[in-house]
Amino acid sequence: MRNRSLSDDGLQLYLDGTVQTRPKKWYQHLICNLFHSDYDDRLFDVIQKSRNSTKALCAEFENPLLSQMLESAVYNTVNLILRNKNDYRFFLDVMQNAFENKDYQTAHLLNIVLSHEAFNSIKKPKRAAAELKKVKEKYGPPSYNKHIVFWRTVRSDDVLPSVIAFHNFYKRRIFMMRDYEAKEAVDIMEIFKYLEYDKNDILPIYGPQALE
């Protein structure tokens, strides 16, 4: 079993205090203990909650407060990790898993957070630089046109877009008076209003009062 710790306070905005229920049969419980730790359970729980949050956030694309919500998420998460810098590794793992499971909003948010200059002086895992670069290149900042082009090829509800990328793409296209492309972004995101989601699943980090 891996010996890693994670601060409870560091997850207050991501977890509701529960973890996945372990198997009740003794042999299943034994196998679970051999290959899983509390760290793994919490990682899985955060990934699932983040994915549900992304679904609900996509449906809020035309919310006039979306810009503030996205800015709050970056600010709140940076400050959350600064409270306990040992949590940097945990959120790096969340980013990597979200990216591999095609939750591109969570991966993108954490990529921005973990690349923040506030963490320049802390000791990071050796793999951090390579993983951050790989995720960043997926989106094609600052225009994020690369993510939109990629999204035109998506044919599955299991793939979740980066709301950050779509929102910035939309704002840039409006500024450039390329209204057709801006409308395309809105039309793509509007689909998520009709998929199954719960607005209450949006994580507290997207709220301005999250750290109070």
Provide the CATH number for the domain around residue 132.
1.10.840.10
**Buried b vs exposed e over 114-146: b needs ≥16 C-beta within 10 Å?**
bbeeebeeeeeeeebeebbeebeebbbbeebbe
Count the Cβ atoms, other than its own, within 10 Å of residue 88.
20
The predicted pLDDT at position 39 comes to 84
Q: How many domains does the chain have?
A: 1
Q: Cα separation of 114 and 35, whole Å?
A: 28
126 within domain boundaries: yes
Residue 118 domain boundaries: 23-206
Residue-level pLDDT at 212: 43
Residue 17 lies in a domain: no
Q: Is residue 211 part of a domain?
A: no
Of 147, 113, 150, 151, give the one whose Cα is nearest residue 132. Answer: 113
pLDDT at 41: 84
Q: Is residue 100 part of a domain?
A: yes
Within a domain: 18: no
Instruction: Supply the pLDDT for residue 207.
Output: 85
Cα 60 from Cα 62, distance rounded (Å): 6
What does each of the 212 residues of the chain score in pLDDT, given as a tens digit? 444 445 555 565 555 433 344 444 544 545 445 555 678 888 999 999 999 999 999 999 999 999 999 999 999 999 999 988 889 999 999 999 999 999 999 999 999 999 999 999 999 999 999 999 999 999 999 999 999 999 999 998 899 999 999 999 999 999 999 999 999 999 999 999 998 899 999 999 998 654 44
Residue 14 domain-assigned (yes or no): no
pTM flag (> 0.85): no
How much is the pLDDT for 8? 59
Report the C-alpha gap between 76 and 70 in whole angstroms.
10
Q: Give the whole-angstrom CA distance, residue 79 versus residue 128.
A: 19
For the chain, the maximum distance between any two Cα atoms, rounded to a whole number of angstroms, is 63
